[in-house]
Structure 1
């Protein structure tokens, strides 16, 4: 909540090859009559350097940034003198940024200013009407080099998949029986290649950010467009009244559609069997609360070091997890483990006496089908990029190819490299500072085709 008695200032530093400091300021207005507050605003207290950008609602008017102002006020004159002393200039074009609710007058009490070195790389414009009496100022700053484009990770759009063609494609690719001399790795590579080829052809991918549940409602879009059009046409008391009416109507429509969408959400999504975490994320998104994602470019801290780039963060996470892992790779220990493993070739099983019966027998197709039925859907894939939805829509030939690879691994003890690899994803702990590396826990995404779950469900294994 803004204070009516004091100037508020906050700052943020954008870390890049040339860091930029953005100072956001709000100075409450002091009326000319019936206002006993004393104005002590002094711009000389603000930080100034070549890479500083000053923006905010200063409630000051001067012809330098307000074309509708014929005579500057005291604070506007004070700011203009300070800008001249430090060698800065306003970025505003002079267009009004405010329409008064009381009088309908248009003015520019909002200011954006910086030094000449930053000004040549900066472009000022007005943003769209967001429902306030102020219009947002949009300031674009060109970097010294082209910034890396943010690329959201693409995901399989299973709801748009052509599962019939996907299944037929897998059946056709795996119909021919493989040679008996193929190893476990070769059998699984053949299977996964067929699935990935069919997936690229018949399952689309996307990386679109999910909008708020009500934002794309046609009635809300029409009301917002009418409000923006009415604001652009404000020039007299009658047009001002039309704008205020359109603004009120847009707020009412948004509130009504939001409530209806929330009731629909409660009666559908919340009544289904789902995880508490998913419901919590949906509610946070609905309320516009802060989510648990780490923003691109948001700095992290490890000891006295500040991590900015994605590569620095990834290396720090890898080092952190390697130091706490119980399976740290050590060549000397690995060689001893391999020697002990080779001795198992001559080991007699106490349960079946190497006859491969009972719990040591090959897995049956019924066991595989049961395991597929029990697999949870809507899970992130492992390094092989194969999801449970793909496995669920396999035909009998493709299931047989997967079963052959699983049984070959069960018999020989050879594990395909895709089953031994994992994608480590750092998840922030609840209510912890996301800038600290220690406040993340690792989640390992493994292949959904691993036979560990089948072994655990088999009695005696």
Structure 2
């Protein structure tokens, strides 16, 4: 039982966690000079590069500022020893990527996070102000606290010919010694990362370091536009795959289904089950229904939508192009006049975008009235907010060690669920009784005359289908709606299949396989496997047959008064409330008889 559960879990949970989004990881590094003031530019960069993780410096945030990102987690360290917003570092990670903060014992402005790609890597965002003295031991102490492999990204305000500067300062010499005496690699290629608007000069003060094992896997590139800052964004492409949870399994759009076409295509009556066992019949029935569904029911792509911008207008596009053009001219010819033109173009682009947002919101609000359906209102709100639901799997720990990769996390959960459902938890006396009971043949030679052993009829099948709810399908992707829209002749064939299973007393193997979804228990630590409970999505064909059997046995037990009148579990119209009321009544009657 335990081994079979582990096999089933490994077969179906792992593909659920590893929906096929196997792409290179994209990291963003940027001194944004104000996160909130440049929020639109940050969102645009995140979307354009499909960023897995972003390291931001000089965020200018304080403790009253919440998370301005709906699709990203934010880990940050704000500057607390100042009366006005300044400094600060932050790391933002996709909610669909498991991540966990790393505790750092340092006085430096730094924050670190572990993110789970194909392996767990550590990402650190750091900002070293030019006026602060940083000793070599402080920087080395920070690096030693980062679990390898790591990326250390930030604005270090250091000059050295090692990374493209024309001069060398004290901090640059200190970092040179660190590079020469430790196993840390520099990723900079010499491209400038900072523009001094006062002197119209360029320099390289934003640095990227990594562990040696990552050096060959990282492509380092500077963006051509500083946007709303005087630092250029740096894009790092990591050759490791992103095992992201950022895609959804394709779903049937049943509201747009052509059920008449489906009924014709899913013609089970034309199939011949002669000489087939239950496994073969189940495969034929499943393939026929799914092929009919593919021809008559549209499906979702499974890809998560890009962040929508319903407010983006032609004027926004025009002013953005003018800003980029002005920056290109200034970069080639860095003069004061060209700098002024660029700043004017940037201000105009920002003003145009803000006006477009306000106008879009006014139009949306004015379109709402008492007759607007609530669904339309909420759909429009979601489009404006750019919301979508994404399953967020945190990093799991086993005996203090992090699980490396999503596949290992799935196996860890599978082992936990296997252990919970294992027969090893039963007492020896119960195991003996269980073993004897399982060896008994439930259907005897003289039991055919019992009503509960008779073949099923169409009334029982229709009753079972009528009592179903629109729940998620199992691994075979067959839904209850598909079964309900089968023709009468096809239902007769389906009933014949169910009766074959009933007579042989053997279930198809595919009915025993489930897509297992781990759900976090309320108030539990998300990093511990024991904090999750499984939800198993099994075949709707199997659940329909199960409902038919259950209805028949329940009727027999109730008709022959085999159930105790005090039993409320698995009884229609009864629940634990009945027992609570009965207990309360007994207590009150006892008080009255005192």
* Alpha-carbon shift at residue 51 of structure 1 (Å): 5.3
* Alpha-carbon shift at residue 215 of structure 1 (Å): 1.6
Partner residue of 2:151 out of 34, 53, 67:
53
TM-score (norm 1): 0.70
2:263 paired residue number: 167
Change (3 A) 1:304 1:221: farther
Q: Between 320-329 and 397-406, report the one with greater CA deviation.
A: 320-329
Between the aligned partners of 2:365 and 2:303, the Cα distance in structure 1 is 20
Superposed CA offset, 1:225-276 (max 9, x none): 853661453222012211122134335545765797799999999946xxxx
1:123 paired residue number: 219
Within a 5 Å distance, the mapping from 1:9-158 to structure 2 comes to: 9-13=110-114, 21-28=122-129, 30=131, 39-47=132-140, 48=143, 52-61=150-159, 65=163, 75-76=171-172, 78-80=174-176, 82-83=178-179, 86=182, 90-97=186-193, 108-114=204-210, 119-127=215-223, 132-133=228-229, 134-142=231-239, 147=241, 154-158=249-253
Between the aligned partners of 1:76 and 1:405, the Cα distance in structure 2 is 77
Gaps of 5+ in 2: 1-60, 62-77, 80-85, 88-106, 331-337, 557-594
Change (3 A) 1:203 1:24: same
Change (3 A) 1:269 1:416: farther
Q: Secondary structure at the match of 2:220?
A: strand
Conserved? CA contact 1:381–1:446, under 8 Å? yes
Change (3 A) 1:202 1:97: farther
2:284 paired residue number: 190
* Alpha-carbon shift at residue 347 of structure 1 (Å): 4.0
Partner residue of 2:521 out of 429, 451, 456:
429
Q: Between 192-201 and 234-243, report the one with greater CA deviation.
A: 192-201
More contact order relative to length (CA 8 Å, sep ≥ 6) = 2
1:314 paired residue number: 410
Between the aligned partners of 1:266 and 1:329, the Cα distance in structure 2 is 60
* Alpha-carbon shift at residue 421 of structure 1 (Å): 3.3
2:305 paired residue number: 211
Change (3 A) 1:263 1:369: farther
Aligned residues: CA RMSD: 4.9
Change (3 A) 1:436 1:90: same
Between the aligned partners of 1:266 and 1:131, the Cα distance in structure 2 is 39
Change (3 A) 1:66 1:162: farther
Between the aligned partners of 1:211 and 1:238, the Cα distance in structure 2 is 36
TM-score (norm 2): 0.57
Change (3 A) 1:116 1:318: closer
1:35 paired residue number: none
Q: Provide the aligned length of Structure 1 versus Structure 2.
A: 427
Conserved? CA contact 1:175–1:397, under 8 Å? no
Conserved? CA contact 1:61–1:76, under 8 Å? yes
Superposed CA offset, 1:66-94 (max 9, x none): 66xx6566645654565456586753344
Change (3 A) 1:45 1:257: farther
Conserved? CA contact 1:191–1:401, under 8 Å? no
Conserved? CA contact 1:156–1:203, under 8 Å? no
2:498 paired residue number: 406
Between the aligned partners of 1:436 and 1:270, the Cα distance in structure 2 is 43
Q: Between 407-416 and 94-103, report the one with greater CA deviation.
A: 94-103
Between the aligned partners of 1:419 and 1:402, the Cα distance in structure 2 is 15
Conserved? CA contact 1:382–1:423, under 8 Å? yes
Superposed CA offset, 1:99-157 (max 9, x none): 679998765542223577754543211358696424431123446xxx58769564234
Conserved? CA contact 1:226–1:246, under 8 Å? yes
Between the aligned partners of 1:267 and 1:327, the Cα distance in structure 2 is 59
1:385 paired residue number: 477
2:446 paired residue number: 346
Change (3 A) 1:92 1:355: closer
Between the aligned partners of 2:413 and 2:371, the Cα distance in structure 1 is 39
Partner residue of 2:420 out of 288, 306, 324:
324
1:300 paired residue number: 396
Change (3 A) 1:114 1:177: closer
Q: Secondary structure at the match of 1:211?
A: coil
Change (3 A) 1:334 1:376: same
Change (3 A) 1:129 1:431: farther
Between the aligned partners of 2:372 and 2:227, the Cα distance in structure 1 is 30
Q: Secondary structure at the match of 1:346?
A: coil
* Alpha-carbon shift at residue 202 of structure 1 (Å): 5.0
